C-alpha cells in the first residue's frame, strides 16, 4: 500500500502525516536521507503495521532560521504566506518586523502584518500606515473582542506561518480560529519513545476556509537566515522603485556616491527608520559572513 500526505509535525525519529482522509499517521523514515519537515508532502507505505515515509516531494518553499550553532534550520516548508503578529503589549520591535519582512520578501511569500490586541487601543498608526503605503497588508485583530474574521479571510487557501514575539497572541489567535478535529492512527510514539513532548516543534493545523497554519514555537530571538548581503538588498520592497537610478549597478546603498536610495531617504520618499534598519541588517549579515 502506498499513500500520500502532509507532514503536520516532526520529531526526531518519526513524523505525523495527515493523509487525504484527514487521518493522522505516525510514520518513521525509510533511511537517513529522508528527513521531512513540517509541511512536506510525502508518500508512505505500510509494512507490518509500521508506516514508513519513502519519498519527499519537491518543495515549493523553505522557511528557515539560524540555530544556536550557526546552522541553517528549517522551521517549515511549502508555506505560501508569512503572518507576522505584533501587538500593543509587548511593544512592537520594528527591527525584528523588518527582518521578518525581508525574509518573507526574499522567499516570495505573501505577507500579512497582524496588529493584535486592538481592544487595548490603536497606537502606532503612523508607522503601520507607512507599511501599508509600501504595499504591506496590515490587519487589526482582537482575540478578546472576537475580532478575527479579517485574518481568517487572509488565511484562506494559504499555508501560513504565524510568527512574532512571545506574548503577542499567536496561540490565542490560533485557538480562536482553530477548529481542530483529530484522528490519530498508528502508535509509534510509544515504540520509538519519541513524539511525546512536542511543544517545542512546529505543527501544521487545518482550520476553516481551507486555511492551514504552521504553529511555530516562541521565536523571540528568531533570526531569519540570509545567505548574503545581496539578499538583504532584495528584502526591502520599497527600494525597488529607486535602485535602478543608483550610479553603480551593484550599489549597496551604504557608502557609494550618487545612491538613489540615500537620496530617496533624504527626500523622505523612503522611510528613514526602514533605511536605518536596512543598514543595521546589512552590516549584521556582512559581519557574520566575513
Least spacing, CB of residue 237 vs Zn ion, in Å: 16
How many Cβ atoms from other residues are within 10 Å of residue 59's Cβ?
Answer: 14
> In terms of CB distance, is 171 or 206 closer to ligand GDP?
171
| Cα gap 213→82, rounded to integer Å | 10
Q: Alpha carbon of 98 to those of 21, 66, 101, 140: distances in Å?
A: 39, 17, 5, 18
Tell whether residue 265 is a contact of Zn ion (CB under 5 A): no
Give me the residues that bind ligand GDP (CB under 6 A), please.
Answer: 116-117, 119-120, 142-144, 164, 166-172, 218
Least spacing, CB of residue 143 vs ligand GDP, in Å: 4
Phi-psi region of 228 (alpha: psi -120 to 50; beta: other; left: phi over 0): beta
Are residues 261 and 270 in contact, defined by beta-carbon separation less than 8 angstroms? Answer: yes
Phi-psi region of 17 (alpha: psi -120 to 50; beta: other; left: phi over 0): beta
Q: Which of residues 225-254 bind Zn ion (CB under 5 A)?
A: 246, 251, 253
What are the start-end ranges of the H helices in the chain? 94-106, 125-133, 149-155, 170-177, 188-192, 229-235, 260-266, 272-289
Coil, helix or strand at residue 290: coil
| Cα gap 245→73, rounded to integer Å | 37
Least spacing, CB of residue 159 vs ligand GDP, in Å: 19
Tell whether residue 264 is a contact of Zn ion (CB under 5 A): no
Q: Pick the binder of Zn ion from 6, 161, 233, 259 (CB under 5 A).
A: 259
Least spacing, CB of residue 97 vs ligand GDP, in Å: 14
Q: Which does 259 bind (CB under 5 to 8 A by kind): ligand GDP, Zn ion, none?
A: Zn ion
Q: Which does 261 bind (CB under 5 to 8 A by kind): Zn ion, ligand GDP, none?
A: Zn ion
Q: Which does 167 bind (CB under 5 to 8 A by kind): Zn ion, ligand GDP, none?
A: ligand GDP
Least spacing, CB of residue 91 vs ligand GDP, in Å: 13
Tell whether residue 261 is a contact of Zn ion (CB under 5 A): yes
**Nearest-10 crossing angle of helices 272-289, 94-106:** 70
Q: Which does 111 bind (CB under 5 to 8 A by kind): Zn ion, ligand GDP, none?
A: none
Least spacing, CB of residue 165 vs ligand GDP, in Å: 7
Amino acid at each position: 500500500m502506498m499513500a500520500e500526505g502532509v507532514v503536520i509535525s516532526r520529531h526526531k525519529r518519526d513524523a505525523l502525516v495527515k493523509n487525504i482522509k484527514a487521518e493522522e499517521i505516525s510514520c518513521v523514515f525509510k533511511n537517513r536521507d529522508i528527513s521531512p519537515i513540517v509541511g512536506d508532502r510525502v508518500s508512505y507505505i505500510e509494512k507490518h503495521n509500521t508506516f514508513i515515509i519513502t519519498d519527499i516531494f519537491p518543495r515549493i518553499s523553505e522557511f528557515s532560521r539560524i540555530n544556536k550553532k550557526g546552522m541553517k534550520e528549517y522551521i517549515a516548508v511549502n508555506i505560501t504566506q508569512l503572518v507576522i503578529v505584533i501587538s500593543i503589549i509587548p511593544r512592537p520591535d520594528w527591527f525584528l518586523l523588518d527582518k521578518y519582512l525581508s525574509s518573507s520578501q526574499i522567499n516570495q511569500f505573501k505577507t500579512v502584518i497582524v496588529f493584535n490586541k486592538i481592544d487595548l487601543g490603536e497606537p502606532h498608526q503612523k508607522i503601520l500606515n507607512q507599511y501599508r503605503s509600501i504595499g504591506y497588508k496590515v490587519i487589526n485583530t482582537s482575540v478578546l473582542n472576537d475580532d478575527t474574521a479579517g485574518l481568517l479571510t487572509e488565511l484562506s487557501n494559504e499555508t501560513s506561518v504565524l510568527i512574532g514575539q512571545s506574548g503577542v497572541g499567536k496561540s490565542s489567535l490560533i485557538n480562536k480560529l482553530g477548529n481542530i478535529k483529530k484522528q490519530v492512527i498508528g502508535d509509534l510514539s510509544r515504540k520509538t519513545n519519541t513524539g511525546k513532548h512536542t511543544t517545542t516543534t512546529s505543527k501544521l493545523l487545518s482550520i476553516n476556509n481551507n486555511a492551514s497554519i504552521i504553529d511555530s514555537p516562541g521565536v523571540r530571538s528568531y533570526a531569519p537566515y540570509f545567505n548574503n548581503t545581496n539578499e538583504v538588498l532584495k528584502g526591502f520592497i520599497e527600494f525597488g522603485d529607486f535602485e535602478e537610478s543608483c550610479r553603480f549597478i551593484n550599489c549597496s546603498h551604504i557608502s557609494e556616491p550618487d545612491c538613489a536610495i540615500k537620496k530617496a531617504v533624504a527626500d523622505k520618499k523612503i522611510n528613514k527608520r526602514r533605511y536605518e534598519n536596512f543598514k543595521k541588517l546589512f552590516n549584521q549579515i556582512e559581519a557574520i559572513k566575513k
